[in-house]
Amino acid sequence: MSKSRKVASFPQRLPIGVLLSLVVLVATPLMWANGQAAPGGQQNQQPAAQQQTDQSPPEAGGPSGDTGVIAVPKKKDNPDEAPPPPAPAAPTFKNPEGLGAVTLRVNVPEVTIDVGVMVEKTHQFVPGLKPSNFRVYEDGVEQKVEGFKRTEAPITALILIEYASRGYMFRVQALNTAWAFAEQLRPQDYVAMMAFDLNTHIVSDFTQDKKQIQEGINQLANEVYMPAAFSETNVFDALNESLDRLSRVEGQKYIILIATGIDSMSKLTFDQIQKRVKASRDITIETISTDGLFEALTQGGGGMMGSMRDMTFLQADNEMKNFSDMTGGAHFAPRFVGELPDDVRAINENIRAKYELIYKPTNGKQDGTFRKIRVELVDDEGQPLRMQDEKHKPLKYDIIARDGYRARQEVE
């Protein structure tokens, strides 16, 4: 029995879109058959001409048969350069066993005071004092003295002498005073000499040869009758320059100021030079007035002009004394040449023989403020110390020390 065969019947006319779809479906298998790779499948054999090209050996420059992706490493800039050494390990510190993390900061200031004790009448140094005889107060608070010794050492000093054409008498007095001081110099002392009128003049630089200082005094003496100098004197500016020069010298220094103390037209005022003197470190000013004889001869005479003259010299003496008091020095106003040896000897004892006191201030702040210092002498019972001479008569004495210091300014 023959099976009946069904034949699909199509409509007589198809739409144009359907015809285009059929054409695409028929063309796709034909493209796969011509050798193009299907998605996700292996690539078919290539044409003969292509195979001949791929089969050329590598020596001819052709491919080696592997046409896949080749990863080429990046070439270094300098293949001979050695790799950098590893960074050093950070240093480690180990505390002792049983001790945890500890931070220690030590900042303990110390204050050193040179104290001279002189008999008021004879200007002699008072020896034999003990640490318990001294009491030190800073801003009114008693301090504990932790170091004490008596010192006597060579000195470093600058002789600052007024040499102006103000008057013959003043120049002679100044030269005699400078010569008397130079006579008592010792071989280990370093001394310089500078003269001033309106300007300053270096007579001799620092030397250990006192003959060189004496030669400088003789050179000034050769012009004592007709000096090439001004009659005006700028003592404040000269003192300020001396402080600047000595500030570059290490250790304790001294200025021997020999002058009338009269200032004519300095750039600095008295208040300014006073602050400058107070802020100085390790500098003691000893002052000797050269107008004592002139005052003794003229005081109380001359009417109104004489009174003004006396006031000028009195003010100058007070300013000179102020400089010495602030720095722990002594002031002398000799009226006659015969007084010079004793006054100069007292200066030498004052600057050579001292008591050195060391204490740690209770106010440890480094704030740059000025601290006032007061030194007292007491006996074993804590009462004010009383001195007597060989005849058991009371002796008055002077305590020579700086009136204060400026604390260091802490740097942030």
Q: What is the CATH number of the domain that holds 182?
A: 3.40.50.410
Where in the sequence is the domain holding 323, given as residue range(s)? 111-406
Please write the tens of the pLDDT for every residue from 122-150.
777 888 999 999 999 999 999 999 999 98
Does residue 69 lie within any of the structural domains?
A: no
C-beta of residue 357 within 8 angstroms of C-beta of residue 134:
yes
Cβ neighbors of 266 (< 8 A, separation 6 or more) are 234, 235, 236, 237, 273
Query: Would you state the pLDDT for residue 309?
Result: 78
Residues of the chain short of pLDDT 70, as ranges, are: 1-83, 87-108, 225-226, 228, 300-304, 411-412
Does residue 62 lie within any of the structural domains?
A: no
C-beta of residue 295 within 8 angstroms of C-beta of residue 310:
yes
Does residue 401 lie within any of the structural domains?
A: yes
Does residue 316 lie within any of the structural domains?
A: yes
Does residue 258 lie within any of the structural domains?
A: yes
Query: Would you state the pLDDT for residue 64?
Result: 52
Please write the tens of the pLDDT for every residue from 61-92.
445 555 555 555 555 555 566 667 776 665 56
Q: How does strand 387-388 pair with strand 394-395?
A: antiparallel
Does residue 81 lie within any of the structural domains?
A: no
Does residue 39 lie within any of the structural domains?
A: no
Angle separating helix axes 270-278 and 303-327, nearest 10 degrees:
20
**Number of domains observed in the structure of the chain:** 1
Query: Would you state the pLDDT for residue 77?
Result: 56
Q: Which residues of 176-203 are buried (b: 16+ CB within 10 A; e: fewer)?
A: bbbbbbbeebeeebbbbbbbbbbebeeb
- What backbone torsions phi and psi does residue 9 show, to the nearest 5 degrees? -105, 135
Kindly report the pTM of this predicted structure: 0.62
C-beta of residue 361 within 8 angstroms of C-beta of residue 111:
yes
Does residue 342 lie within any of the structural domains?
A: yes
Query: Would you state the pLDDT for residue 361?
Result: 94
Cβ neighbors of 16 (< 8 A, separation 6 or more) are none
Query: Would you state the pLDDT for residue 223?
Result: 82
Give the C-alpha separation, 325 to 274, whole Å: 11
Give the C-alpha separation, 343 to 178, whole Å: 12
